[in-house]
Structure 1
Amino acid sequence: MKILLIEDDVELATSIERFFKIKAHNIDTFYDGFDVINHLEEKNIDYDLYILDVNVPNIDGLEILKFIRKTKIDVPVIIITASLEIETLQTAFNYGCTEYIKKPFNLLELEIRLDRVFYTKTDIVKIEDDFFYDKSSMELKYKEESIKFRKKEKLFVDILFKNIGFIVSNDSIIDYVWEGEVKEKYPIRQLVNTIRNKLPYDIIKTEIGIGYKIEG
């Protein structure tokens, strides 16, 4: 696996480098945001994973994330942050981060986050023995009966199950569910309430100001 890391704490960066090299991964490490942008503009390297500290010199990790997502839509990006302020997390998920990890952390926690990011999921997502989602047919079934959804409801459920265990940002939901339709206000809450009323019990978790998720 080819990894790009930006972390201005040299000791932490060295530990992360060692962690990946022991696992036979290749890692390019940077300590300055400006250097990362220059590198990405000059080199045509397909990284499998980006790990970005938010607070780095010159160009911060969130701006680097935004830059990456202009061309790399599906590559996992893990944000490292010393803060859990709602504004920081909201911006990170709006810009398309896959997962985040809060400083200080140990390498076992990083490994757990990586397992979440790269865990291979089957088409069938089981919630309970009699409650599951089929990603191939976009059907949510309870006791062998398919729950009926309108188109936008179905798309909302689908994007959450495609990203099960992760927060899906409000902006990502709008892009996926409304498919480019321009509105002054997107009635996400109303949509979620309608879906919840159709479920046997609530499986949708609200991350206030950020988005929604279904626990994996």
Structure 2
Amino acid sequence: MTEKILFVEDEQDLGSLIKQYLETKGFDIDWFDNSKNALKAFKENTSSYGLCLLDVQMPQKSGFELAENIVQIKEHIPFVFLTARTEKKDRLTGLNLGATDYISKPFDIDELALKLKNILKMTSGAVAPKVQLSSYMIGDILYNREQLTVTTPDKKVAKLTTREAELIEHFYHNKNKRIKKEEILVKIWGENDYFLGRSLDVFISRLRKIIAQSKKVSLSNVYGAGYIFNVEE
């Protein structure tokens, strides 16, 4: 097995045990006890990882939040959650994020090894379906595409209209580069029209107010050429 597994477990004894056992079974394991270092390693060595094994309950950033960050970097990577949580809502959260499997603690470590082997075998060289997240971080704001909300760093929640949500998503998928006004009008409204352009100006003004408290996200004008949705990850 050549692809590495990014393994994140904050319990030292359990993490060490799982890493050592899986390595005896031929897996290449990178183990981290916190999400921050794990995400840093993933960003620096994205292509070397073929699967993520994530504990859900961790300090600072949960396994769910880490998964959201990871699929924004490499959307076709499979991942498995390990958790002591048994509530249906937590399982659904994991599956909604696109989890390949969701394993409750305590678990049989031989069964875990077999599942990981099968997942790597199935996904090796294959293109997984694109993951559509219900929510994801844009800089330091949280966008929820199902509830049509934006949560800013000061914890305020702004409700979006469908059109505003479409704009947010279009800007995000074209972040940090110039987007022509005409392109936005055709993409969102279906045509380039003067009066629709005036309507777009109103939507832009409202979006700026919504993200005003963000230190990592801004929407700037490029005079006569469109806009740039600036996002600092």
TM-score, normalized by length of structure 1? 0.52
2:192 alignment counterpart: none
Equivalent position amino acid for 1:96 in 2: G
Residue number among 2, 8, 15 corresponding to 2:4 in the alignment = 2
2:93 paired with 1:94: no
> Which residue matches 1:112?
114
- 1:48 to partner: Cα distance: 1.1
CA distance in 2, matches of 1:170, 1:57: 22
Compute the displacement of 1:115 (Å). Answer: 4.5
Q: Provide closer, same or farther for how the CA distance between residues 61 and 11 of structure 1 changes in structure 2, counting only shifts above 3 A.
A: same
Contact 1:65/1:96 (8 A) holds in 2 = no
Superposed CA offset, 1:50-98 (max 9, x none): 1000001211100011111113222220100101212211211111111
Larger radius of gyration, structure 1 or 2?
2
CA contact (8 A) 2:50 2:120 kept: no
Tell me the distance in 2 between the aligned counterparts of 1:80 and 1:98.
12
Tell me how far apart the structure 1 counterparts of residues 39 and 108 of structure 2 sit (CA, whole Å). Answer: 27
For 1:81, the equivalent position in structure 2 comes to 83
- The structural deviation recorded for 1:17 is 0.8
Q: String of CA shifts for 1:107-140, please: whole Å, max 9, x gaps.
A: 122023224424549xxxxxxxxxxxxxxxxxxx
Judge conservation of contact 2:80–2:103 (CA < 8 Å) in 1: yes
TM-score, normalization: structure 2?
0.48
Alignment length, in residue pairs? 129
Q: Tell me which amino acid in the other structure corresponds to 2:72.
A: K
Q: How many angstroms apart in 2 are the aligned matches of 1:55 and 1:74?
A: 23
Instruction: Evaluate the alpha carbon distance shift between residue 21 and residue 52 of structure 1 in structure 2; reply closer, same or farther with a 3 A threshold.
Output: same
State percent identity of aligned pairs. 30
Question: How far does the alpha carbon of each residue in 1:19-70 deviate from its partner, in whole angstroms, 9 at most, with x for none?
Answer: 2211232211111112222333344443011100000121110001111111
User: Distance between the aligned counterparts of 1:76 and 1:42, measured in 2?
Assistant: 18
Instruction: Measure, in 1, the Cα distance between the counterparts of 2:9 and 2:98.
Output: 19
Distance 1:67 1:120 in 2: 23
**Higher mean displacement: 54-63 or 72-81:** 72-81
CA distance in 1, matches of 2:58, 2:92: 19
Unaligned segments of structure 1, at least 5 residues: 122-161, 172-181, 183-216
Q: Any residues of structure 2 matched to 1:30-179 within 5 Å, and which?
A: 30-118=32-120, 120=122
